[in-house]
């Protein structure tokens, strides 16, 4: 098993300043593997990726807030539908005289954390899962299934708690995908993003976009 420490972007003080300006999406190389991290995503350096040699993609979107102690499992799933969950052929082969067996799949696939996702402290995310855009994961949660956009999940195993906004508002937020705007647009609409959304929210954003396009 490999346990990899990853430094993303660090809190330096209570004003949430970051170590450097991450103004572009980037690929971070870890143990010979590239992991996608979207621009302006920040978090603590105690994020850990647990790997048993699986070749899966890990993608973290833009403007995410990652709490300390995030654990991402690229594999480690034992087949509970077999008689035994023990990984015969992978451990103690010299003692049990069992041929190496790499046919058993211990990973469910890539991990995708969407955009503007808030992951609380000490969260564990298993392989093959997607955390939708705008979702929130409560601290100390163990995520074992996909998380819907703009929903709040928590617990062990993590369960649906509630949606952050109405269905109509969520659909509009997913439509505009504000995290894909250029930086100068983000600078103009950030005050809107820091308020509770209503129908007028999207009118204001559209107005700013139109003004920018007319220049």
Active site residues: 78
Tell me how far apart the alpha carbons of residues 76 and 108 are, in angstroms, rounded to a whole number: 9
The two tokens of residue 93 are 């082969």
> If you compute the radius of gyration of the chain from its CA atoms, what whole number of angstroms results?
20
In three-state secondary structure terms, 76 is coil
Tell me how far apart the alpha carbons of residues 6 and 49 are, in angstroms, rounded to a whole number: 8
The two tokens of residue 6 are 């990853």
User: Judging by beta carbons within 10 Å of its beta carbon (0-12, 13-18, 19+), is residue 48 exposed, middle or buried?
Assistant: middle
Asked, as a colleague might, if the bond just before 39 is cis with ω within 30 of 0, I would say no
Tell me how far apart the alpha carbons of residues 118 and 136 are, in angstroms, rounded to a whole number: 5
């Amino acid at each position: 098993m490999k346990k990899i420490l990853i430094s993303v972007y660090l809190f330096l003080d209570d004003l949430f300043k970051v170590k450097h300006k991450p103004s572009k999406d980037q690929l971070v190389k870890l143990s010979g593997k590239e992991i996608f991290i979207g621009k302006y995503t920040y978090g603590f350096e105690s994020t850990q990726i647990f790997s048993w040699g699986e070749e899966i993609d890990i993608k973290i979107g833009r403007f995410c807030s990652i709490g300390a102690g995030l654990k991402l499992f690229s594999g480690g799933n034992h087949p509970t539908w077999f008689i035994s969950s023990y990984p015969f052929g992978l451990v103690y082969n010299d003692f049990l005289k069992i041929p190496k067996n790499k046919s058993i799949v211990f990973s469910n696939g890539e991990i995708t954390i969407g955009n503007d996702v808030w992951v609380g402290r000490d969260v564990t995310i298993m392989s093959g899962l997607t955390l939708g855009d705008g979702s929130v994961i409560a601290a100390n949660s163990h995520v074992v299934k996909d998380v819907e956009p703009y929903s709040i999940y928590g617990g062990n195993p993590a369960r649906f708690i509630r949606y952050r906004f109405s269905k109509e508002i969520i659909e509009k937020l997913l439509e505009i995908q504000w995290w894909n705007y250029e930086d100068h647009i983000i600078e103009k609409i950030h005050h809107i993003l820091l308020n509770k959304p209503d129908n007028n929210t999207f009118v204001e954003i559209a107005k700013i976009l139109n003004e920018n396009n007319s220049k």
